[in-house]
Amino acid sequence: MQKLIECVPNFSEGRRPEVIKAITDAIESVESVRLLDVDPGKATNRTVVTLVGDPESVIEAAFRGIAKAAELIDMRQHSGEHARMGATDVCPLIPVSGISMEETAAYAQRLAQRVGEELGIPTYLYEAAQPNKKRSNLSVIRSGEYEGFFDKIKLPEWKPDFGPSQFPAGPGATVIGARDFLIAYNVNLNTRSTRIANRIAFDVREAGRIKRDGNPISGKPVLDENGEPVRIPGKLKHVKAVGWYIEEYNLAQISMNLTNYRETPLHQAFDETCKSAEERGARVTGSELVGLVPLQPMLEAGRYFLEKQGLSTGVSESELVHTAIRSMGLDELAPFDPQKKIIEYLLKDSKSEKLARLSVVDFANETASESLAPGGGSVSALAGVLGAALGTMVANGSANKRGWEERVAEFSPWAEKGQKLKDELLYLIDEDTRAFDGIMNAYALPKDSEEQKTIRSQAIEAANQYATEIPYRTMKTAYACVEVLAAMKEIGNPNAASDVAVGALCIKTAVRGAWLNVLINAPGLKDRAFANRIVSDAEALLKKNHEACDAIILAIEAELRK
C-alpha cells in the first residue's frame, strides 16, 4: 500500500486572498503533493489547508507553506475569534495509508526541527509527536495565546522543542504534531426530532450523558465527591456526537467525529447508532461522510457487512467499497463517488495503470503493435493475474456454494490472499513497462562531459538492475499463488477442478516467462555479484514453481480422466 499522509496546517490569515494564495502556491510548488482543500474564515481570520501525498513531499510542502506564512503574516496586526499563537498556528500530520502513527510522528519531528532551526520559529511538538505527555495537548500548549507567549516562552517548562527561546513578534510560534485522521460522519434518522437525535448521540458518544437524580421535575445532576457531575459513558470510544435537525433534508441527524477510526471503525459507529435508534423508536435511513475518508475504513466496513451476510470477504476492492456504500446508505442524500471521496483514489494517477486499465481487446492489440511495450514481462505478469484470479474465483465460489454455508470462514482467507496477490500482479504489469522506460530514459541522458558520462553510466546500471528485479518480483508473487491453488485443489468445489488446473498453468507460464526476462536483463549488469545472485535465486524459484504447478495440474488431469 502506498505511503500517504495528510497535513492540515492552520494559517492565521482568513481575510486577504492574495496572502492565502501565496501560501498555497508555495505548498503546490512541490509537484507530488495534492492540495485538496482551502477553507478560509473571515471571523476567525484563519485558513485551514488540506494537502496529501507521500511523507517526504508533504513535509517539504508544509515547510514551504510555513516559511511563506512567516514571511507574509505579521501577528502584531492579527485579530480573530480563534485561539492562535503564530502565523502557522498548528500543523498536524495524519497517517492515511501504508504508514504507522510512529512513523508519522517521526516525520512531524523532522519538520518541527527544520522549522525551528532554519526559520528561527519557536516550535512545539504535540499529540503523538510529543514524547512529554504533560505538554502534548494542543490547548494546553497554546494557552495564553500570542499575547501571552512573550512571557510564557521564558519559563523553563515551556522552552520550545526546537528553535529559539525568544518569542519573535512577527511570525510568533507554531505547534507541529501527529494525530489520527478525523472522520466527520453524519447518520440520518427517520425523524425530525432533535430531542430523539440528541438522546441517540448521548447513547453512542464516548462522553455519554450526565447522570440525573431521577426526579422527573428537577432532574438534577448527580455529583461525585469533588462536586463534579457524574457521567454515564456512551458505547463508543473516540467518538464525539450531537443531534441536530437539517432543514435542507428535512430530517434529524447524529453528527459524529470519529477521532480514532482504527479503534472505533466506521461500521461500528453506524451499527451502534442503528441499535440505539431502534431502542428509541427511530430508524436509521442512511448516512453521509463529510469531506474525505481513507480507503482502509471503507474496506473494513465492506468486509464487516459481507461477513454479517455470511458471504466471502475475499472480493475485489471495488466490491468491498460498493458493499460499504450500500450497507451504510452513504448515497442516500447525495451520490457517493468513491473516486472523489476516498483519499487514495483522489490521488491515484490513472496514467500509472495504463496497461492494467485496458480492455482485453485493447491489451492484445497494443501487445501486437510494433511498440516494444507491453513486452514479455508485462504479459507474464498478466498470466499471473489470471492464475491468481482463477484461484480466488474457486475460493469465492466454494464459499458461496449451496450447502457449504458453514464453510465460508474456511474459504474467505484464501480468497482474500488471492485478491492481494492478484492486485500486486496487476501493478507489476505496468511496473515492468515503467522499468523498461527507465532504461530508455537513462540511455537518453547527456554524455558530453566526463561527469555526465559517469552519471549516465550509473543511471543505466541502476535502471537495468531495477528492470531485472521487477520480473523476479513477478516470479515471487506468482509463486505465492500456488498455495491458494493447491488449497483449492484439496478443499475447493470439485466442479471447479479444471479452473484450478488452468490457474496453475497460468502461474507456471507467469513464473517461467518472468524468469526469461531475468535472464535477458542480467548479462548487461556491471555488478556481477548482484547479477549472479538474482539469477541463482530466480532459478531455484523456477524449479520449485515448476514442480508445484505440475503436481497440481497432473493430479487434476488424472482425476478428470477417471
Residue of 180, 271, 430, 432 with catalytic role: 432
DSSP 283-332: -EEEEEEES-B-HHHHHHHHHHHHHHTT--S---HHHHHHHHHHHHTTTS
Q: Is 25 a catalytic residue?
A: no
Q: Is 432 a catalytic residue?
A: yes
Cα separation values, 19 from 33, 58, 86, 346, Å? 20, 21, 15, 27
Global pTM reads 0.76
pLDDT in tens, the chain (562 residues): 678 999 999 999 999 999 999 999 999 999 889 998 888 888 789 898 989 999 999 999 999 999 999 999 999 999 887 789 999 999 999 998 889 999 999 999 999 999 999 999 999 999 999 999 889 988 889 999 999 999 999 999 999 999 999 999 999 999 999 998 888 899 999 999 999 999 999 999 998 888 877 766 667 888 877 778 778 889 999 998 989 888 888 999 998 889 889 899 999 999 999 999 999 999 999 999 877 788 999 999 999 999 999 999 999 999 999 999 999 999 999 899 998 888 888 777 666 678 888 899 999 999 999 887 788 999 999 999 999 999 999 999 999 898 998 999 999 999 999 999 999 999 999 999 899 889 999 999 999 999 999 999 999 999 999 999 999 999 999 999 999 999 999 999 999 999 999 999 999 999 999 999 999 999 989 999 999 999 999 999 999 999 999 999 999 999 999 8
Contacts of 96 (CB under 8 A, 6+ apart): 4, 5, 6, 52, 181, 294, 343, 344
CATH number of 350-561: 1.20.120.680
**Class of the CATH domain delimited by 183-347:** alpha beta
Rounded Cα–Cα distance for residues 552 and 562 (Å): 16
Which spans in 359-407 are helix H? Answer: 360-368, 376-399
The residue type found at 1 is M
Residues 232 and 211: beta-carbon distance below 8 Å:
yes
Residue 122, helix vs strand vs coil: coil
> What DSSP element (H or E) covers 37?
strand 34-41
Q: How many CA atoms lie within 13 A of 249 on its CB side?
A: 20
Residues 175 and 88: beta-carbon distance below 8 Å:
no
Structure-block grid coordinates of residue 333: 442524500
User: CATH 3.30.990.10: which residues of the chain?
Assistant: 4-178
Rounded Cα–Cα distance for residues 251 and 200 (Å): 14
Say which CATH topology domain 4-178 has: Formiminotransferase-cyclodeaminase; Chain B, domain 1 (3.30.990)
User: CATH 3.30.70.670: which residues of the chain?
Assistant: 183-347
Report phi then psi at 344, rounded to 5: -60, -35
Residue of 82, 238, 322, 546 with catalytic role: 82
The residues that bridge with 162 in the sheet, in sequence order, are 123
Is the backbone peptide bond immediately before 338 cis, with ω within 30 degrees of 0?
A: no
Task: Give tens-digit pLDDT for 168-204.
Answer: 999 999 999 999 888 889 999 999 999 999 999 999 9
